Amino acid sequence: MEARIANNTLDKDTPALPLWTRKQHPLTRWSLMIFMCILALIMIFPFAYILWTSFASFQDSASGDPLTLPLHPTLEGYQWLFNGGVIIPAFSISLIVTVAATAIGTILSAMFAYGLSIRGMPGNKFLLWFALLTLLVSAGIIPNYLLIQQMKLLDTIWAMILPGAVSGFHIIIMRQFFLNIPSELIDCARIDGANDWQILWRVILPLSKAVLAVVALFEAVAQWNNFFRAIIYISDSNLFPLALVLRMLVLQGQTPTDLSSTLGTNTAPPPSLALQMAAVVITTIPILLVYPFLQKHFTKGVLTGSIKG
């Protein structure tokens, strides 16, 4: 009797194992596997459809069934885009804007977040609420346009880099990550004579590669896909980013011939749907290539930055 009571007490005191570590019934395991496979196919299908449609020819378009694999695949869509004289300059502009805005935004956000993470700094709480306020309130399109106009940045590449370079969301994530760094490391650096600038660059940032990778990825994706600033601030077609060219192709039904009269090609364009999907593939590939290099830091940075210190 006493042994039974002891076993019951031990079972109550022993914490339950997580659901994913428990042994599951074979039927449950196979049901989950089938469900996950179906979910994966649902997510992969749009990308596969875009990819095979980008290789479609006029014969495939004439079949009238867009869901079938192209029987006469061709690279005319990609060749026409690259020979048109629009995609490559737009790609270069997007690359410059993305790299510059990501570098500027990540560095400024780290500097602001480090200042907010210093305990006891005068005005710390006010500045934190000010950063949070930017997530809820914005100046609006017209004041922003007038500001860019007064700064003489219209029709310049800086009009797509500087506005929105610093995000309050990124500042909060980095501040929370910095608060989890042991304060003893900072105290030791101060004892050795390091100032705040040296502490930030030699102590804090080397320990914050995970959150820096997360913020850089967020910033890069946002800048690469942004076309709204170009619509507002840019009227020179030579400064159009790739996202704006893609928007004109997909949403407005325009081709590069409609965008510029100096393409230097007299050949007839391929099917409009193939041209649009080829532009989508060209726009998507750079982000897909960058993500694997940052993926190992991504989960750690998001989870650590979300834990309150």
Model confidence at 306: pLDDT above 50: no
Nearest-5° angle of CA 169, CA 171, CA 172? 65
Summarize the confidence of residues 114-121 as an average pLDDT: 83
Query: Residue 63 domain-assigned?
Result: no
Q: Which residue has the higher pLDDT, 175 or 60?
A: 175
Q: Residue 52 CB: number of other CB atoms within 10 A?
A: 18
Q: pLDDT tens digits, residue range 186-208?
A: 888 888 888 888 888 888 888 88
Tokens encoding 117: 């993470």
Model confidence at 261: pLDDT above 50: no
SS (H, E, C) 205-248: HHHCHHHHHHHHHHHHHHHHHCCHHHHHHCCCHHHCCHHHHHHH
Q: pLDDT tens digits, residue range 29-74?
A: 888 889 999 999 998 888 888 888 888 776 666 665 666 677 777 8
> In total, how many domains does the chain have?
1
- The pLDDT of residue 263: 41
> For residue 274, what is the domain's CATH number?
1.10.3720.10
Query: Residue 66 domain-assigned?
Result: no
Model confidence at 260: pLDDT above 50: no
Could you tell me which residues come within 8 angstroms of residue 13 by beta carbon, excluding any fewer than 6 positions away? none
- The pLDDT of residue 4: 54
Query: Residue 244 domain-assigned?
Result: yes
- The pLDDT of residue 105: 92
Model confidence at 128: pLDDT above 90: no
Model confidence at 5: pLDDT above 90: no
Query: Residue 173 domain-assigned?
Result: yes
Q: Are 271 and 177 in contact (CB under 8 A)?
A: no
Model confidence at 97: pLDDT above 90: yes
SS (H, E, C) the chain: CHHHHHHHHHHHHCCCCCHHHCCCCHHHHHHHHHHHHHHHHHHHHHHHHHHHHCCCCHHHHHCCCCCCCCCCCCCHHHHHHHHCCCHHHHHHHHHHHHHHHHHHHHHHHHHHHHHHHCCCCCCHHHHHHHHHHCCCCCCCHHHHHHHHHHCCCCCCHHHHCCCCCCCHHHHHHHHHHHHCCCHHHHHHHHHCCCCHHHHHHHHHHHHCHHHHHHHHHHHHHHHHHCCHHHHHHCCCHHHCCHHHHHHHHHCCCCCHHHHCCCCCCCCCCCCHHHHHHHHHHHHHHHHHHHHHHHHHHHHHHHHHHHCCC
Query: Residue 156 domain-assigned?
Result: yes
Could you give the CA distance from residue 125 to residue 130 in angstroms, rounded to a whole number? 9
User: Domain containing 122: what range?
Assistant: 91-306
Query: Residue 177 domain-assigned?
Result: yes
Could you give the CA distance from residue 229 to residue 165 in angstroms, rounded to a whole number? 12
Mean pLDDT of the chain: 79
Query: Residue 217 domain-assigned?
Result: yes
Query: Residue 52 domain-assigned?
Result: no
- The pLDDT of residue 190: 86
Could you give the CA distance from residue 91 to residue 194 in angstroms, rounded to a whole number? 43
Confidence of residue 308 (pLDDT cuts 50, 70, 90): very low
